[in-house]
Amino acid sequence: MLELYDTLKERFKLGELKQQRDDLAFVTVEADRLHELLSHLRDVEGYTHLVLLTAVDWIEEDLFQLTYLVNNRDEACDIGVRVMLPRDNTTMKTIHDIWPTAATYQRELREMFGIDFPGSPRVDEEFILEGWDDIPPYRREFDTKAYSDKTFAVRPGRETHDPAAYMKQQREKGEG
């Protein structure tokens, strides 16, 4: 992995290598170099499989982190390529031309985080949240409890219990 990193870092101005295991490492790259780097990894270095594309909301830093995990089957190793993007009006170039399966991940990230991938197939169509009209639910400022209280009626049997006290009470009922 270090040899690959040394080869790539001059050409793509990568952040530091974070090696998780011998067969898994992560690097950060500027957004405008991502497409070129992923194409190089696929076409030259043998990373032919997109394992996943995911996001993390770093609300405290006002950033989203996209992680593209790609696999080299011949070498049995993975590399995660991270991109940091500002949270406001977040847009990222699509990679569906490199891996067509990325279009599905990009649709999900648009709907759940509000990250746009212009030009990605069907990215503007509803995907999981049909009829959703609130902020994207995976953004950290989304208040799940407030949304639930506003949307769903209170029903009997939905009381909240302290798990330890509740289990103790249930055990005592069973013994009597």
pLDDT digits (tens, 9 = 90+) for 81-125: 999 999 999 999 999 999 999 999 999 999 999 999 999 999 999
Query: What architecture is the 2-153 domain classified under in CATH?
Result: 2-Layer Sandwich (3.30)
Distance CA 128, CA 126 (A): 6
Distance CA 165, CA 161 (A): 7
Residue 60 and residue 34 in contact, taking contact as beta carbons nearer than 8 Å = no
Distance CA 93, CA 115 (A): 10
E strand segments, 22-166: 24-28, 49-58, 63-72, 77-86
Residue spans of the domains in the chain: they are 2-153
pLDDT digits (tens, 9 = 90+) for 52-90: 999 999 999 999 999 999 999 999 999 999 999 999 999
State pTM to two decimals.
0.85
